[in-house]
Structure 1
Amino acid sequence: MTHDANTNPAVDSHPVVDTGPAVDTDPVVRTDPAADSHPVVRTGPVVYTDPTVYTDPTVYINPILNADWSDPDVVRVGDDFYLTASSFGRAPGLPLLHSRDLVNWTLVGHALERLEPAVGFRTPRHDCGVWAPALRHHDDRFWIFWGDPDQGIFQINAPQIRGPWTRPHLVKAGKGLIDPCPLWDEETGEAYLVHAWAKSRSGVKNRLTGHRMHPHGTELLDEGKLIVDGDRIPGWFTLEGPKLYRHDGWFWILAPAGGVETGWQGALRSRGFFGPYEERIVLEQKDTQVNGPHQGGWVRTPSGEDWFLHFQQKGAYGRVVHLQPMSWGTDGWPVIGNEGAPVAVHRKPDLPPQPPAAPATDDDFPGGRFGRQWSWTANPQDSWATQHSGDGLRLTCVRSADAHDLRRLPNVLTQRLPGTPSVVEVELKLHSEEPGARAGLAVLGDAFSWIGLQRGADGAVHLVHRFAEGVAEQERDADHPRIAREGRVRVRLRIEIGAGARCCFSYDLGEGPRPSGPVFAATPWRWVGALLGLFALAPVGSGHAGAATFTNFRIDPLPPVAPE
């Protein structure tokens, strides 16, 4: 069912509905590194048709995680590497990824089952919740600290990466306390914590505050001291996301500045935790295509190699993750990437070879259970999804006064938008006689669009396709509703996601695929990339409104476009 990009009728015969800014990621060709006589390092506008054309197993291509794994942090325990990322208002939150080579990652679970306080996240708060977590391993336990900009600094811990994780503990209450990172200093036996500030809540930004911390990680032992004032560093602004380390007798803070879109990675060092600190820019875009390469974590392999993981903001795709080589210069400062510029291609870390792997996307929903790649847009209720003996995700048609606006609904099951051109498909069956009951497949962001089935007031089942711009308060038709032939309550839904996150919708009611509506330009929320979503809804009323079953969810890459 895959259409060639130049012949897709949904593209050729319909106008584009541009709902916001989109990033163009059209791929082009890269040459074989084996032809080079120098080490494999690419930094400039080096592009390619398809990463699989690279047959050299000794190199990797950035981004290593090509979806919205925002604000990554990483830690090594033995031969294993673990990564977590911001999850904002979705549940479960705090995704946990595992790798043996820093290149191939799988999603192994979540550390946060529900957001706290539970009552505060019964409805979507897309840009709130879990911001910029720090992942550490200390005293034979995993620790995650994060900032909720409306509540304060939280901490959870567990004996194993898969848990059980403790319930969130509020280490310090306060508005605008974000991006915390702990350090248990083996040299002094002291524990510390550094955090940044969100001006939207506190009126303060561009500053880092340091605290002494109880070794148990349960409380801070002082009121905090300003240890870095970004306003006093010429040209620096929006200093945030600090990660705290000890190295070579120095306290190190690796922190981004300059803003998400076009910022840089800074390094700051001091002989004492409370300063004074000197600073240096250690990673920036330079002449590459990687805008704003910053905010992430440093990790060392068993053989002593150093690596740095960071994000790149890519519009609707969110914040994708890059891996950079890291070393220490003769002056004692870190050197990241290729002399401070992000690499596009590089030799892999000196670690045992691993098979290709990536976080799962496809799902057959065995027994009605959904995979780890899915999360709700708010704290879930048990009644939203029903387990059963067969396959397929069975979602209850939840009654809501906000059925006209998916952005307000807590019962949308989501996963990340793929960062490369892809085709998303799922089969849907509607089990409801309730007028107005509906279910579908959505692209969800500040603007949204969805396609699916709805029971009409006339009793017939309609194929509907709707959307809403970012400024709109409710959805409207993207195409004329179509009545399914009598008795037909099953449909195959399809979204082709092209360059720039432009989405072409189509469907198959048993008569072959048909395009629907104009091209939809996916948009992010303020800090969160666009999401794919499954949902089932019904208007306000009494009694059970029925259900919908989703089966055979697939995301497949589009074939590369040959260069001209």
Structure 2
Amino acid sequence: MVQYDDWGGNNQQWSLVRVGGGTNPTTTTPPGGQYTNPVVWQDFADVEVIRVGEVYYLTASTMHYSPGAPVLRSYDLVNWEFAGHSVPSLDFGTKYDLTSGQRAYVNGIWASTLQYRPSNRTYYWAGCIDFNDTYIYTASSVDGTWSRHAQIDNCYYDAGMLIDDDDTMYVAYGNGAISVAQLSADGRSQVRSQQVFQTPSSIGTLEGARFYKRGGSYYIWLTRPANGQYVLKSDSGPFGPYTVRQVLLDLPGPISGGGVPHQGGLVQLPNGSWHYMAFVDAYPGGRVPALAPITWTADGWPTVQTVNGRWGVNYPHPLPIRPVKPLVGSDTFAGTVLGPQYEWNHDPDTSKYSVDNGLRLSTATVTTDLYAARNTLTHRIQGPTSTATVELDHSGMRDGDRSGLAMLRQSSAWIGVRRDNGQTRVVMTTGLAMDSGWRTTSTGTEAASAAVGGGRIWLRVNADIQPGANRVARFSYSTDGSVFTPLGPSFTLNNTWQFFMGYRFGVFNYATQSLGGAVTVRRLDITRP
């Protein structure tokens, strides 16, 4: 037996059948019959969910983090595991690798689309980069190798792809003016594009398109950010004409202090029922997925099932529970590749890190600015509160090097090791900041320090990312991995939405004098209370 945590607050025991060194979970009857929202309390925004057979996949935005466009996998729509990324590298220009003084914060992978095409057994990902071109990636499996095949000279802003019954591929997209594009037979170029709807001023702005067909009708699922959801319906083909109907507006959400569930998309289960995976603004943690059942009116319009006039905190399980690998836990960096739970801040310098029973981070940038340092490895924070602990071998650091564990966003703080003049100190640095153009305005101030010896240290951050103001992170360290000493003041988290992405744990190593130093991350633990 193993202990399995479904992140919904219910701990249960499950039997797992071991197959080839992995796990093949047995299907079980849901205990109590209820799941709890949010189904994933991590930062996954602009989600889309698709079903392939009896497996579900979720994709999301990642902005400036690399690899981009993560894919989660589930067998029950409630419990999710990391599977891979559709965009292996943000190779869209030098600003994405923090070179030449350039940076791409809040650029990169915005709302994009993932679909599976049965006719050639291929997964397709499409997304617009920098409001210019749309890129198409394909793979034979979501956790396999993704390849970039095409660049379409049209920005499919907030794209939603549909594979029609006759295998024709369409993409709905736009902001205010909603268009539909037809793709070529191989899905790699545009055949036709036509505006199909103009959002009336009485509604405001509609975007975040997802594209569906049910029966003979076509639906474009659209969000009014950040408090409404609308749907367009056509009974005359993918190019319309379309009529619009409000799905929800100012509907209270399932997270105390959080926003209105919106955007996201629909998915149909094998039994014919439908569910809606939206996201909820929940800063400082980000935007987190929440699930609700959908019913359809007699004339073919979707309706969200509410509980006492709001998006339910609990609903009946849509499917028998299938345990998967938890989204958090312990990692000793076994093997030779990073797991899909990690993303770098901008594209990494691949020559400056390696994985081999530990993560070795060689300094990749000479800077005094963490926001300009390459090869900062990030992991989403588990809400509502969680703790990250890093075991760090710092014996290979050189004078001027800085290495540690950060709470990373446009307002940041970190705990880490400084090597100066042959001396080593553990320090807590606070007050790192960027302005609205994502330019660094402060590289931070050292708030507390202590001398440390030896070559190994444990660094810890406890983060409270429940929605609202005055949430804090607290920093501590240990020289034996057992007794932890608090260091520095608590750090108040920024809960504005403008950076879009929520706080992440970030592991870094950079030089302020010259390259050549290195650290090894022996272990990373992310735990919940």
When normalised by structure 2's length, the TM-score is 0.85
- Which residue, 499, 505, 511 being the options, matches 1:538? 511
Q: Is the 8 A contact 2:474 2:489 kept in 1?
A: yes
Deviation of 1:557 (Å): 1.0
Question: For residue 281 of structure 1, what is the aligned residue in structure 2?
Answer: 246
1:52 aligns with 2:10: yes
- Which residue, 447, 472, 476 being the options, matches 1:502? 472
Q: Is the 8 A contact 2:397 2:518 kept in 1?
A: no
The residue identity in structure 2 corresponding to 1:517 is G
Matches within 5 A, 1:82-231: 82-123=57-98, 124-138=103-117, 139=119, 140-174=121-155, 177-186=156-165, 190-197=168-175, 206-222=176-192, 224-230=193-199
The residue identity in structure 2 corresponding to 1:535 is F
Distance in structure 1 (CA, Å) of the matches to 2:201 and 2:84: 40
1:465 aligns with 2:428: yes
Q: Is the 8 A contact 2:329 2:527 kept in 1?
A: no
Distance 1:221 1:448, change over 3 A: same
When normalised by structure 1's length, the TM-score is 0.80
Q: Is the 8 A contact 1:153 1:180 kept in 2?
A: no
Deviation of 1:190 (Å): 4.4
Distance 1:68 1:424, change over 3 A: same
SS in 1 for 2:374: coil
SS in 1 for 2:219: strand
1:250 aligns with 2:228: no
Question: For residue 27 of structure 2, what is the aligned residue in structure 1?
Answer: none
Deviation of 1:540 (Å): 4.0
Q: Is the 8 A contact 1:400 1:540 kept in 2?
A: yes
SS in 1 for 2:106: coil
1:404-436 Cα distance to aligned partner (Å, 9 max, x none): 222222310001122221121111121345221
Larger RCO: Structure 1 or Structure 2 (Cα < 8 Å, ≥ 6 residues apart)? 1
Question: For residue 4 of structure 1, what is the aligned residue in structure 2?
Answer: none
Distance in structure 2 (CA, Å) of the matches to 1:461 and 1:450: 16
Distance 1:179 1:367, change over 3 A: same
Distance 1:62 1:536, change over 3 A: same
Q: Is the 8 A contact 2:232 2:244 kept in 1?
A: yes
Segments of structure 2 that go 5 or more residues without pairing to the other structure are 1-6, 13-29
Distance in structure 2 (CA, Å) of the matches to 1:399 and 1:53: 44
Q: Is the 8 A contact 2:366 2:513 kept in 1?
A: yes
Deviation of 1:481 (Å): 2.5
1:504-544 Cα distance to aligned partner (Å, 9 max, x none): 11112349422122211233662211111101111243xx5
Deviation of 1:371 (Å): 2.1
Question: For residue 550 of structure 1, what is the aligned residue in structure 2?
Answer: 521
Distance in structure 1 (CA, Å) of the matches to 2:276 and 2:245: 16
Matches within 5 A, 1:46-445: 51-52=9-10, 56-123=31-98, 124-138=103-117, 139=119, 140-174=121-155, 177-186=156-165, 190-197=168-175, 206-222=176-192, 224-230=193-199, 232=200, 234=202, 236-257=203-224, 259-260=225-226, 263-272=227-236, 273-289=238-254, 291-338=259-306, 341-349=310-318, 351-355=319-323, 357-367=325-335, 369-388=337-356, 391-401=357-367, 404-432=368-396, 434-445=398-409
Distance in structure 1 (CA, Å) of the matches to 2:59 and 2:505: 20
The residue identity in structure 1 corresponding to 2:124 is W
Distance 1:142 1:106, change over 3 A: same
Deviation of 1:470 (Å): 4.0
Distance 1:90 1:211, change over 3 A: same
Supply the RMSD in Å over aligned alpha carbons: 2.4
The residue identity in structure 1 corresponding to 2:279 is F
The residue identity in structure 2 corresponding to 1:249 is G
1:447-501 Cα distance to aligned partner (Å, 9 max, x none): 11111111112x11011111213446232334233222xx423221111113544
Q: Is the 8 A contact 2:222 2:230 kept in 1?
A: yes
SS in 1 for 2:111: strand
- Which residue, 471, 475, 483 being the options, matches 2:451? 483
Q: Is the 8 A contact 1:134 1:180 kept in 2?
A: yes
Question: For residue 26 of structure 2, what is the aligned residue in structure 1?
Answer: none
1:526 aligns with 2:488: no
Distance 1:379 1:462, change over 3 A: same
Q: How many residues align?
A: 483
Deviation of 1:309 (Å): 0.7
Distance 1:135 1:387, change over 3 A: closer
Q: After the TM superposition, which of the residue ranges 522-531 and 208-217 deviates more from structure 2?
A: 522-531
Q: Is the 8 A contact 1:99 1:105 kept in 2?
A: yes
Deviation of 1:85 (Å): 1.0
Distance 1:540 1:456, change over 3 A: closer
Q: After the TM superposition, which of the residue ranges 307-316 and 336-345 deviates more from structure 2?
A: 336-345
1:173-219 Cα distance to aligned partner (Å, 9 max, x none): 45xx41122223226x644222114xxxxxxxx22122232232111
SS in 2 for 1:315: coil
Distance in structure 2 (CA, Å) of the matches to 1:79 and 1:555: 30
Deviation of 1:316 (Å): 1.8
Question: For residue 31 of structure 1, what is the aligned residue in structure 2?
Answer: none
Deviation of 1:287 (Å): 4.3
Q: After the TM superposition, which of the residue ranges 351-360 and 128-137 deviates more from structure 2?
A: 351-360
Distance in structure 1 (CA, Å) of the matches to 2:325 and 2:428: 34
The residue identity in structure 1 corresponding to 2:144 is G
Question: For residue 45 of structure 1, what is the aligned residue in structure 2?
Answer: none
Distance 1:329 1:218, change over 3 A: same
Distance 1:530 1:287, change over 3 A: closer
Distance in structure 1 (CA, Å) of the matches to 2:88 and 2:163: 27
SS in 2 for 1:295: strand
Identity rate, percent: 28
Deviation of 1:386 (Å): 2.5
1:57-104 Cα distance to aligned partner (Å, 9 max, x none): 421000111101111111111111111111222111121111111111
